[in-house]
Amino acid sequence: MKRICVLITALLSIFLFTGISVFAETLSNEEFNWSFNPSKNQQPATTEPHYEALIEKYGGLYIGETSEKELYLTFDNGYENGYTAKILDVLKEKNIPATFFVTGHYLKEEEELITRMIEEGHIVGNHSFHHPSLPKVSDERLEKEIKSLEQAYEEQTGRNDMIYLRPPRGTFSERTLAKTSEMGYTNVFWSLAYKDWETDQQKGPDYAYDKIMSRIHPGAVMLLHSVSSDNAEALPRVIDELEKQGYTFKSLDEWRIKQEMLFQ
């Protein structure tokens, strides 16, 4: 009995002095690559049942309310390729909110664009500092990747409102979802995307428009890459047509407020 008490005391000491949960090690770190199953005729996309269960368990998002013609426009900004300003111009002209997930490189190199995003009412989200696959790094490295970007953002902008995380490379595990949720982040995946990030494989704005429109559905969390010239060119037409079809663009903050009201 005495030996058991000594063991419990030792475990509690680890928890108290290191801040590491003694139960965290029991969570699976099996690495998953996010994927979704696009459907036709504006029917909602789906994903693997165990992915959906994990996202729900840890308060994440990959699709909104599918009974409402609402859309969530998000961009991944790992580096600047000369098109973000044009995207911001379109969003400002059409009064559309978006979320831009940025890395440490982008935050440091594109301060003027970050300022524009904030001043024009958009959300700046966390895409980690160096863009590693989070399941492949330790809890300590994971926390540093997220916190260092968050702190740099606060120092640069004076704001401490970075609460949305797009997992780098779209990889995740139960451990990473639990850890980042514990840190106060909402993991944001997506239910609409296409292969748009290869800058030497752009196929023109009509191709981008057709790809996006063929996968649109109520509640879609749309992932576009800002490095794509096709996206920048197609965006005005995409927005106009979707609004014509009765869709409205919402911010992630509006989704979060709805969730909070549901659980009050």
Catalytic residues: 76, 225
CA distance 110 to 108: 6
CA distance 83 to 231: 9
Q: Compute how many other C-beta atoms are within 10 angstroms of the C-beta atom of residue 131.
A: 17
Amino acid type, 129: F
Amino acid type, 201: Q
DSSP label of 195: S
Strand intervals (E) in 127-170:
164-165
Closest CA to 217 of 98, 66, 75, 72: 66
CA distance 116 to 204: 27
Residue by residue, DSSP assigns 66-92 as: TTS-EEEEEEEESS--S-HHHHHHHHH
Find the length of the chain. 264
Cα torsion 136, 196, 210, 62 to 10°: value is 30
Let me know: does 32 contact 170? Beta carbons within 8 Å. Answer: no
